[in-house]
A and B are shown apart, each in its own frame.
Chain A
Amino acid sequence: MKYEIVIGLEVHVELKTQSKIFCSCSTRFGEPPNTNCCPVCSGMPGALPVINKKVIDYAIKAGLATNCTIADFTRMDRKNYFYPDLPGAYQISQMDFPICKNGHIDIETEDLDKRIRINRIHMEEDAGKLVHSEYSDDSLVDYNRAGTPLIEIVTEPDISNGDEAKVFLEKLKAILEFIEVSDCKMQEGSLRADVNLSVRPAGQKEFGIRTEMKNLNSFKAVTRAIEYESKRHIYELETGGSIIQETRRWDDVKGKSYSMRTKEQAEDYRYFPDPNLMPIHIDAGWIEGIRSQLPQLPHIRKEKYITQYNLPPYDAAILTSSKILSDFFEESIKFSRNYKGVSNWIMGELLRLLKSEDDDIEAIPYKPEYLGTLVNLIDDKTINTNIGKKVFMESFKENKDPALIVKEQDLAPVSDEGELLDIIRKIIGQNPGSAADYRGGKKKALGFLMGQIMRETKGKADPVFVRDLLTGELEKKE
């Protein structure tokens, strides 16, 4: 029997505001435990929440960037449950009136193009962290993270396999990074994905029973978990077993999912509107204000690079994989018309120098104008490619105008034919053996002579030109 896999994702994204969602504590990561806390985010008696407007702005931004409708009326609700990392015994979230609804992200995989619909985006606060003591049975609670603002993005069950899930997440991450609402580092926990998965016989309309998987810490883990879980569902159904609706924990090391909840009933969170917070009315002016600040999104830029700048899709994809890179490219091409050339330098030399420090590009400490200038210097043959590489290294290190470097160090190529012939003849004269080898048929001897000549010119000659002149000279004599 053929089965169809039906997947929906719930993605939690940490917003990179400076303050928490309901108090003015800092969201800075990595501080000593319980130092970024106040009565509000540590659940003290009598403390009250006050919403951080930036969080609403960022949620609207995320909604606009994913084609959602922004609600004109939205409100915060309480989700009640007991756990030590939840200081107030309720999480302030949104249930009935989420801030964004009915969006979509279009994805392209190897097999097809597909639209993944977004059911809703809502705002909520994060819980604190539990740390289990190494020395005793105790658990320790750190409330630094409690109150960090999150948006939860819930898709419709439109995803059919692990690859689509991965592509969706990558695209979502790129969009959210581009609009600068989150740094989306899955390994650091600022982006978390839960997978809801069920299977059904191909063609059946009703959904099968679904399971939810948590603890997925990378995009690879998502695809592996989907692979495993779909097989598990199918196996159960084929062997006469049944799927229990439950939450399961993914163990990436063991490559398996394990049941988390022992009770079969879903927990009742007793949602009700938080009486300490006023409902939020969002008017067209507010939305337009944010829309006007939206940068051009990655897939739009990618299209533009392919159609307008004639870049191959591969280049376009790499350049638009990060906003910083994409912005740098767009700035650089203001100074040079050689789009492909600029692209090559960015993808090659620039990325090489940048990635030697960090995994994610935080910033590019180099003037885009300089890269444009460099490409032009090579194009108009002021310097050759080899010299170009050296000039670039120095230009990048000092953040200095390459034209200035070329001028100061007298790196202009030796292009005077007469000057070159003198050097060539001198080298031939100094190396009669090699010259004879070449004339005798050993073409490889040319390389040695070339090396000597290039060294003599301090690399400033155009190697193609030199080669022509050299072979001309060698074949001439006799």
Chain B
Amino acid sequence: MNLNMLSIKQLNRGFDKKEFTPSRMIKNNGEAIKNHNEKFNFYINTFEDEALKKAGNMPERKSPLSGIGVAVSDCILTRGYKTTCGSKMLKDFVGPYDGTAFLKIMEAGSILLGKANVAEFAMGLDTENSSFGRTINPFKEDLSADGAPVAVALGGAVWALASDDGGTLRQNAASLNLVGLKPTYGLVSRYGLIGSTSSLGQIGSITRTVEDSALILGIIAGYDPKDSTSIKAPAKDYMARIDHGIGGLKIGVDGDILNLPQTGEHKKNLEEALKVFEDLGAIVEYVNFKTFEFLLPSYLTLAFGEAGSNMGRYDGVKYGYRTSPYRDLDEMYKKSRYEAFGDETRKRILLGTHILSKEQYDSYYLNAMKARRLIREEYDDMFKKYDLIAGPAAASKVDGGSGYDELLPSLAANICGLPAITVPCGITPSGLPSGLQLLGQRLSEETLLRSARAFEQRTPFINHKPREVQI
């Protein structure tokens, strides 16, 4: 058994039985970083030495996360450590405060191993446009991936705290054969989450098993007075009913998403997975959404519009990159932002500015808000008939189309603020892992978790690891 591939639960059992110590695990993580980070480029900044010291000094274990090494996506603020958000603009930025979710996992005893590579300002599913280079997917090296799940897949951390603005967390968890959970909008505080959007993203977890994500959710979920969009929901024990299975649940399968050219390579694995659900006692039916055609245009409009405004604060005045030399204020603004932002970021800012302009506002942003309402209403109706909506978690880039079509499997969750989980469901002929995504009504994480766990326990897929870590 490769200790470096153990889940949080397994590690805790090992600590309890004194089979190994947190220090030993952190040392393993450090070795994985040393062996793999240079090639795969999953961490922008690492803190192995400090982590090792901390692991050696552990007083008592306050929670299941104590003494366990975590990767934190570099779009989440960590006081005292650099937070770059994948951009030259924040290359050396050390924030003066902690994001709430990060603070919670640290108070629970987590050990920070590194800040993981992200698309610049989280604008993208992969790291093609990160200022720090692309992170390579060890399962398929011609593909780039988000840094956090690669860190977990290669043993550079046991789990990761990451963000999902338009599916990055889920799609990448799927492509790295891991479990990814995006909670209901407002369940986890967004205070300290740097991103370009506001109404669409949430912080979630990337783990090796479903149980691990239940453990983490219990710690990071909860009302935060610093976040006005934070929900005042009662605390839940997400582990309590996690083995209750999926029997009797009604699952709707999004036919439009399943039949996209972008999800073609995963289709067979998905169909097999749905058969497993039926074996487990779930009722599976195919459905179509009338609002399917609104998903991408409304998402892009809202996301780019919000980005155009949210990105304004990176102006070279207060922190971050400032150009030199410059003649006046106007030149300082223009040159700093031009030099420090990559192509995709600049494009989205320009589009976002256009979208919010007086002449265009009604046609774009206002209509997108209306479309969003219609999508939400249709999903609300669908959830009266079905407990879960299933589909492929990830999609690939295919020639033609809008250039953003691969976002489609993910978008409903972001647009409607719904929780979604992805769990490994097979490998494609090209070696790329497939993920099965389950989408639930708001605050139905318990249902998602027990369904995903039932599937996980019935299938062998979670044991599939990258070549680099196989023994």
Contacts and interface: CB of A to CB of B under 8 A. Distances in A.
A and B are partners in one complex rather than unrelated chains = yes
Interface of A: 39, 42-51, 78, 80, 82, 84, 87-90, 141, 268, 270-272, 275-278
A265 to B, nearest CB: 11
Nearest to A139: B329
Given A44-B96, A51-B228, A272-B356, A80 B312 contact: yes
Contacts of B90: 45
Contact of A88 (B191, B312, B358): B312
Given A44-B319, A48-B226, A84-B317, A272 B93 contact: no
8 contacts: A46-B190, A82-B312, A84-B315, A141-B317, A270-B308, A270-B357, A275-B229, A276-B198
Given A82-B333, A87-B318, A89-B313, A46 B191 contact: yes
A275 B198 contact: yes
Interface in B53-101: 76-77, 83, 85, 90, 93, 95-97, 99
A43 B311 CA distance: 11
Contact of B194 (A45, A272, A276, A277): A45
B306 interface: yes
B361 interface: yes
Contact of A43 (B194, B227, B313, B333): B313
B132 to A, nearest CB: 17
A45 B305 contact: no
B193 interface: yes
Given A51-B228, A270-B309, A278-B228, A45 B95 contact: yes
Nearest to A42: B318
Given A45-B85, A50-B228, A275-B199, 13 more contacts: A43-B318, A48-B191, A48-B228, A50-B227, A80-B356, A82-B312, A88-B313, A89-B313, A272-B305, A272-B309, A272-B365, A275-B229, A278-B229
Nearest to A40: B226
B269 interface: no
A268 B309 CA distance: 13
B323 interface: no
A39 B358 CA distance: 30
The 5 residue pairs across chains A and B that have the minimum distance between CB atoms = A89-B312, A270-B356, A275-B198, A275-B199, A45-B194
Contacts of A44: 95-97, 318-319
B357 A39 contact: no
A47 B191 contact: yes
Nearest to A268: B358
B225 interface: yes
A48 B318 contact: no
Given A89-B315, A272-B365, A275-B198, A46 B357 contact: no
A50 B225 contact: yes
Contacts of B308: 80, 270
Contacts of B76: 46
B25 to A, nearest CB: 30
A45 B226 contact: no
B45 interface: no
Choose among B193, B228, B356, B361 the residue with the greatest number of A CB atoms under 10 Å from its CB.
Answer: B228
B416 to A, nearest CB: 14
B315 A82 contact: yes
A87 B226 contact: no
B353 interface: yes
A89 to B, nearest CB: 3
B457 to A, nearest CB: 37
Contacts of B329: 84
Given A45-B83, A45-B313, A80-B356, A277 B228 contact: yes
Nearest to A81: B312
Contacts of A43: 313, 318
B192 interface: yes
Given A82-B333, A272-B356, A90 B312 contact: yes
Interface size class of B (residues with CB under 8 A): 35 or more
Nearest to A45: B194
Contacts of A84: 315, 317, 329
B229 A276 contact: yes
Interface string B300-331: 00000110110011110111000000000100
B319 to A, nearest CB: 7
Contacts of B99: 46
B337 to A, nearest CB: 10
Contacts of B191: 46-48
A50 B229 CA distance: 9
A270 B353 contact: yes
A225 to B, nearest CB: 28
B309 A90 contact: yes
A278 B77 CA distance: 23
A46 B95 contact: yes
Contact of A78 (B228, B309, B353): B309
A268 B357 contact: yes
Contacts of B228: 48-51, 276-278
B309 A48 contact: no
A401 B441 CA distance: 72
Nearest to B306: A275
A78 B361 CA distance: 13
A50 B226 contact: yes
Nearest to B328: A137
Interface in B136-154: none
Contacts of A90: 309, 312
A45 B333 CA distance: 17
B333 to A, nearest CB: 6
Choose among B193, B197, B317, B365 the residue with the greatest number of A CB atoms under 10 Å from its CB.
Answer: B317
Interface in B152-208: 190-194, 197-199
Nearest to B354: A270
Contacts of B357: 268, 270
Nearest to A276: B198
A45 B91 CA distance: 13
A58 B95 CA distance: 34
B345 to A, nearest CB: 14
Choose among A82, A90, A268, A277 the residue with the greatest number of B CB atoms under 10 Å from its CB.
Answer: A82
A151 B192 CA distance: 29
Choose among A39, A49, A51, A270 the residue with the greatest number of B CB atoms under 10 Å from its CB.
Answer: A270
Nearest to B77: A46
A334 B29 CA distance: 81
A43 B193 CA distance: 13
B306 to A, nearest CB: 6
Contact of A270 (B96, B199, B317, B358): B358
Contacts of B97: 39, 44, 47
A271 B362 CA distance: 11
A329 B251 CA distance: 75
B450 to A, nearest CB: 31
A278 B225 CA distance: 13
Interface in B351-377: 353, 356-358, 361, 365
Contacts of A277: 228
A152 B197 CA distance: 29
A87 B316 CA distance: 11
Contacts of B226: 48, 50
A328 to B, nearest CB: 41
A130 to B, nearest CB: 10
A44 B361 CA distance: 27
A128 to B, nearest CB: 10
A271 B85 CA distance: 27
B118 to A, nearest CB: 13
Nearest to A50: B228
Contacts of B199: 275
Nearest to A274: B198
A271 B308 CA distance: 12
A321 B315 CA distance: 46
B357 to A, nearest CB: 6
A51 B229 CA distance: 11
B197 to A, nearest CB: 8
B451 to A, nearest CB: 31
A47 B198 CA distance: 11
B229 A272 contact: no
